[in-house]
């Protein structure tokens, strides 16, 4: 019953003719009107017992689909209910549950292969506009902004959504780079609604090695607390008492801080950190870096040691750094060096050239802000 109740509520939003759902909010808040399947699913609570258990099973399907694909939650919920209902009927009729599971997996494999054959790649501006508008629940203004953003930064570019201070939605293109690593701990989250860490005008500390002791970052923490400045730490690993101290400073002193594990491995990781340092104007802490050296720095020296940018947005999967405040000359020189290596070094393997192109794209990348 719980699965049916949730699927009935979510299912009415399916497709272009789907209907809106009104969700009751907390005391004093206006009701929320939405056509988004996962939002409806999250809002449904059916008390305790087996009824709620069935609803929770389908709710997990919607949430997982949203996290994996970003859309299609209503379709996933409707399909899950159909599989669940039919499966229960077959088991009640005597079918072995493991045989049923193998049959479902076999059917899924065939359907996915057929969908791959039927799928059509999105190519034109109109294609992007149509898909974006549908995904935005029929909002043509949002769909148009997303289509414009893709035309500016390319299909592999980065698009970030932020809450604005004006009465209408706007598109802004800024210099920025994206890392395929997110926050180490959810305790760093500043925007609970979007489950993101959002930092304005933060300092950036970059370490090539692990950070585990509090002593190694204490002077920088004290500097950021005294200057009321947010802090992002990018390192091979942040663990132990250092991670504990960062979380406590966030929770108890309300210091906006975030720790991100450096992406990549070996020399590739080193190159990524070098690109970030050039972009934001930071000095990289080497593995053999002496803690005593940090202790001897005054606030001006620490400030020169750290990088800076206009804003940072960190989710559980990625980090977006916009408008790094590194030296324009250093960035330009690094870009020129990478271009010359790609064009002139005949000994490079295809793999090496691909990695150089990735670095070039990272330094010349742009971020669309909606």
- Identify the band that residue 136 occupies on the pLDDT scale cut at 50, 70 and 90: confident
Domain 2-118: which CATH class? mainly alpha
176, 367 in Cβ contact below 8 A? yes
pLDDT at position 306: 92
Helices (H), ranges, 93-124 = 97-118
Tokens of 160: 């970030």
Picking from 368, 344, 311, the residue whose alpha carbon sits closest to that of residue 151 is: 368
Helix (H) or strand (E) holding 130: helix 125-135
353, 339 in Cβ contact below 8 A? no
Residues 25-50, mean pLDDT to the nearest whole number: 84
pLDDT at position 292: 42
Residue 22 backbone zone (phi > 0: left; psi -120 to 50: alpha; other: beta): beta
Picking from 366, 342, 337, the residue whose alpha carbon sits closest to that of residue 354 is: 342
* pTM tops 0.95: no
| Whole-number CA gyration radius for the chain | 25
Inform me whether the pLDDT recorded for 48 exceeds 80: no
Domains 2-118 and 176-369 belong to one CATH topology: no
Say whether 285 sits in a helix, a strand or coil: strand
Which region among 14-28, 151-165, 247-261, 327-341 has the lowest average model confidence (pLDDT)?
151-165
Domain spans of the chain?
2-118, 120-155, 176-369
pLDDT at position 293: 59
The more confident residue out of 343 and 257 is 257
- CA 123 to CA 341: how far, in whole Å? 32
pLDDT tens, residue by residue, 81-125 = 999 999 999 999 999 999 999 999 999 999 999 999 999 888 888
| CA separation, residue 224 to residues 47, 212, 300 (Å) | 45, 19, 12
Other Cβ atoms less than 10 A from the Cβ of 33: the count is 9
Exposure class string for 305-330: b at 16+ Cβ within 10 A, else e: bbbbbbbbbbbeebbbbbebebeeee
38, 73 in Cβ contact below 8 A? yes
Tokens of 291: 């803690």
Inform me whether the pLDDT recorded for 164 exceeds 80: no
Say whether 82 sits in a helix, a strand or coil: helix
CATH 3.50.7.10 fits 176-369, yes or no: yes
């Amino acid at each position: 019953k719980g699965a049916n109740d949730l699927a009935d509520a979510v299912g009415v939003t399916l497709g272009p003719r789907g209907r809106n759902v009104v969700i009751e909010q907390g005391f004093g808040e206006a009701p929320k009107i939405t056509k988004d399947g996962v939002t409806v699913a999250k809002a449904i609570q059916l008390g305790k017992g087996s009824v709620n258990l069935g609803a929770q099973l389908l709710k997990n399907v919607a949430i997982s689909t949203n996290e994996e694909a970003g859309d299609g939650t209503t379709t996933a919920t409707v399909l899950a209910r159909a599989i669940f209902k039919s499966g229960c009927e077959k088991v009640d009729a005597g079918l072995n549950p493991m045989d049923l599971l193998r049959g479902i997996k076999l059917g899924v494999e065939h359907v996915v292969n057929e969908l791959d054959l039927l799928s059509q790649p999105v190519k034109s501006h109109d294609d992007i506009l149509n898909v974006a508008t549908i995904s935005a629940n029929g909002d043509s203004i949002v769909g148009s902004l997303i289509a414009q953003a893709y035309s500016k930064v390319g299909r592999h570019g980065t698009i970030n959504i932020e809450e604005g201070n004006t009465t209408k939605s706007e598109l802004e293109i800024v210099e920025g780079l994206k890392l395929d690593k997110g926050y180490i701990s959810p305790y760093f989250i500043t925007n609970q609604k979007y489950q993101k860490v959002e930092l304005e005008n933060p300092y950036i500390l970059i370490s090539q090695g692990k950070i585990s002791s509090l002593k190694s970052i204490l002077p920088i923490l004290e500097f950021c607390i005294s200057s009321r400045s947010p802090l992002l730490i990018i390192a091979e690993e942040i663990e132990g008492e250092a991670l504990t101290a960062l979380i406590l400073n966030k929770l108890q002193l309300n210091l906006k801080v975030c720790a991100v594990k450096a992406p990549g491995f070996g020399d590739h990781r080193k190159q990524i950190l070098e690109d970030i340092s050039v972009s934001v104007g930071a000095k990289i802490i080497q593995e053999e870096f002496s803690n005593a050296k940090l202790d001897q720095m005054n606030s001006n020296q620490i400030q020169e040691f750290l990088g800076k940018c206009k804003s940072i947005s960190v989710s559980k999967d990625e980090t977006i750094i916009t408008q790094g405040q590194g030296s324009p000359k250093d960035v330009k020189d690094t870009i020129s060096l990478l271009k010359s290596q790609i064009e002139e070094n005949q000994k490079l393997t295809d793999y090496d050239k691909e990695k150089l192109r990735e670095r070039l794209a990272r330094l010349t990348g742009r971020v669309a802000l909606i």
